[in-house]
A and B are shown apart, each in its own frame.
Chain A
């Protein structure tokens, strides 16, 4: 069984933010020279211990507005989440540059709000929606998910978001809606990576309606209990944890319900290497590298790789979506 309910922690076990801040201040005064280095080390250790008990906003390095009223979810993994630093400095987000460290550096000035999403196609409620129109009606949940990149590395990320199904129900798709397609903002003045045509902008992704309605599919608006950092796809992005990361499109400005299967950006760029489904599958290699194992980010130089799980470990929940489908051909 892969879903585990998160362990319950007494709120008294979690370091209060003000206590933590005071301790930091004390250390600033006490920590001089070599002694300071030692103390800072001890302090960092205790903060890490607190952060594994609490995937909330007190994690070291976290910044951004704290989101309130976030419910825990039984769909979260009990694995330890990656650090704030890992999740926010190692990103594939070509709209802000093609190197992993680029989005962290180039998305600093991006102002995600105000934001609007244009809803189109086969649904009863098309139109332009403000960010708040789509987010406010729903309860925020924390979903700690595994993330497996097509490049054979992985992380564990404590997202905050809304089930995509809730938003889709709000938009009332009709019976013609077999697929949902998404587009990222296309504005090179705000997203400097779009000045180079490495991909055919805007970024497009899509799901079958059944995939989109699956309880695991999430629209994330936060990370570690805070609003989503720009480099992670602010203000709202898709998270589909059983698919390779590139399916989880960022900074969504368009949602379209349609009968035809959308052509996603990577599939369009290199159809022999990236397919529409892009389900995590250790048995089907990328033409240029093996997908059998993955490198867990944040485990250090000597940690090695670990085996990749079918559907990224979510097979129990999602395998039925693909019964009868040849996963080797429909990669």
Chain B
């Protein structure tokens, strides 16, 4: 079973899928007192924070794939990227639904005012809305249909990651240590890309000047 072989994917993909779903199942079990220590005195807040963090974690994992491929030469890693991206969307969507249904009780006016008046919610909501076209166009068919435009559209992920991290940073009352960790990881991931692009341009320039 060589990495990158058909059998390899057939075995590892379900495992990664279950691992991706595990935090959600664990939260649900805790919420209904079926496993774990429960969600504490404020379960709605706990769900809000945890689903948000998981959304961001999966988004950052998605962004890890390309640099990892370059460093390791394991080009087949790309085959997991869509699933990670869709998990980022899934957790972000649950994060929003928890906010809209359990936290705000589907109070449309309150939600609208939050989105308009609270900058950190404006940022988060923008990120979620931008994730929707990416999730819809994540299928192989859409990739084919969009061709070159697919890559352009999906480069929105950088903006979304910045919005998400910023949203996390701004909602903290005072202690921004956790949010800073996410911001630093995101910054590193963006820097490796800029660095790579610059090297490529230098290479192309060198070639053309030769």
Q: Please report A residues at the B interface, Cβ cutoff 8 Å.
A: 82, 85-86, 89-90, 94, 98, 100-101, 151, 153, 196, 198-199, 269-270, 285, 288-290, 292-293, 295, 297-298, 300-302, 304-305
Min distance, Cβ A264 to any Cβ of chain B, angstroms: 14
Asked whether A199 lies within 8 Å of B41 as measured between CB atoms, the reply is: no
Min distance, Cβ A147 to any Cβ of chain B, angstroms: 12
Asked whether A90 lies within 8 Å of B171 as measured between CB atoms, the reply is: no
Interface-facing stretch out of B81-89, B110-118, B139-147: B110-118
Asked whether B173 lies within 8 Å of A151 as measured between CB atoms, the reply is: yes
Min distance, Cβ B28 to any Cβ of chain A, angstroms: 11
DSSP class of B's interface residues: helix, strand, loop or mixed?
helix
Question: With A302-B102, A304-B105 in contact, is A297–B174 under 8 Å at CB?
Answer: no
DSSP class of A's interface residues: helix, strand, loop or mixed?
loop
Interface residue B204 (Cβ < 8 Å from any Cβ of A): no
Name B118's contact: one of A94, A289, A292, A293 (CB within 8 Å): A289
Asked whether B42 lies within 8 Å of A297 as measured between CB atoms, the reply is: yes
Q: 8 Å CB contacts to A: which residues of B59-82?
A: none
Name A301's contact: one of B43, B170, B171, B175 (CB within 8 Å): B43
Query: Roughly how many angstroms separate A86 CA and B44 CA in the complex, as a whole number?
Result: 14
Interface residue B40 (Cβ < 8 Å from any Cβ of A): yes
Name A153's contact: one of B42, B110, B119, B171 (CB within 8 Å): B42
Query: Roughly how many angstroms separate A255 CA and B102 CA in the complex, as a whole number?
Result: 42
Asked whether B40 lies within 8 Å of A305 as measured between CB atoms, the reply is: no
Min distance, Cβ A84 to any Cβ of chain B, angstroms: 11
B residues near A293, Cβ cutoff 8 Å: 110
Asked whether B41 lies within 8 Å of A89 as measured between CB atoms, the reply is: yes
Min distance, Cβ B57 to any Cβ of chain A, angstroms: 18
Asked whether A301 lies within 8 Å of B41 as measured between CB atoms, the reply is: no
Asked whether A288 lies within 8 Å of B40 as measured between CB atoms, the reply is: no
B residues near A153, Cβ cutoff 8 Å: 42, 45
Name B41's contact: one of A100, A151, A285 (CB within 8 Å): A100
Query: Chain B interface: which size bin?
Result: 20 to 34
Asked whether B40 lies within 8 Å of A101 as measured between CB atoms, the reply is: yes
A residues near B102, Cβ cutoff 8 Å: 301-302, 304
Asked whether B42 lies within 8 Å of A288 as measured between CB atoms, the reply is: no
Chain B 32-56 against A: per-residue CB contact (8 Å), 1 yes, 0 no?
0000000111111101000000000
Min distance, Cβ B82 to any Cβ of chain A, angstroms: 32
B residues near A289, Cβ cutoff 8 Å: 114, 118
- Report which residue of B41, B104, B120 has the largest number of chain A beta carbons within 10 angstroms of its beta carbon: B41
Q: List 30 A-B contacts (CB under 8 A).
A: A85-B41, A89-B40, A89-B41, A90-B41, A94-B175, A98-B175, A100-B40, A100-B41, A101-B40, A151-B173, A196-B177, A198-B174, A198-B175, A269-B174, A288-B118, A289-B114, A289-B118, A290-B114, A292-B110, A293-B110, A295-B45, A297-B41, A297-B42, A298-B41, A301-B31, A301-B39, A301-B102, A304-B102, A304-B105, A305-B105
Min distance, Cβ A229 to any Cβ of chain B, angstroms: 14
Chain B 130-174 against A: per-residue CB contact (8 Å), 1 yes, 0 no?
000000000000000000000000000000000000000011011
Name B44's contact: one of A82, A98, A196, A295 (CB within 8 Å): A295
Min distance, Cβ A88 to any Cβ of chain B, angstroms: 9
Min distance, Cβ B171 to any Cβ of chain A, angstroms: 7
Q: Please name 16 further chain A to chain B contacts, defined as beta carbons within 8 Å, in addition to the given A288-B120, A297-B41, A301-B31, sorted by A numbering.
A: A85-B41, A86-B41, A90-B41, A98-B174, A100-B40, A100-B42, A153-B42, A199-B174, A290-B114, A290-B117, A292-B110, A300-B43, A301-B47, A302-B102, A305-B104, A305-B105
Q: Looking across the interface, which residue of chain A has its beta carbon closest to that of B176?
A: A198
A residues near B118, Cβ cutoff 8 Å: 288-290
A residues near B40, Cβ cutoff 8 Å: 89-90, 100-101
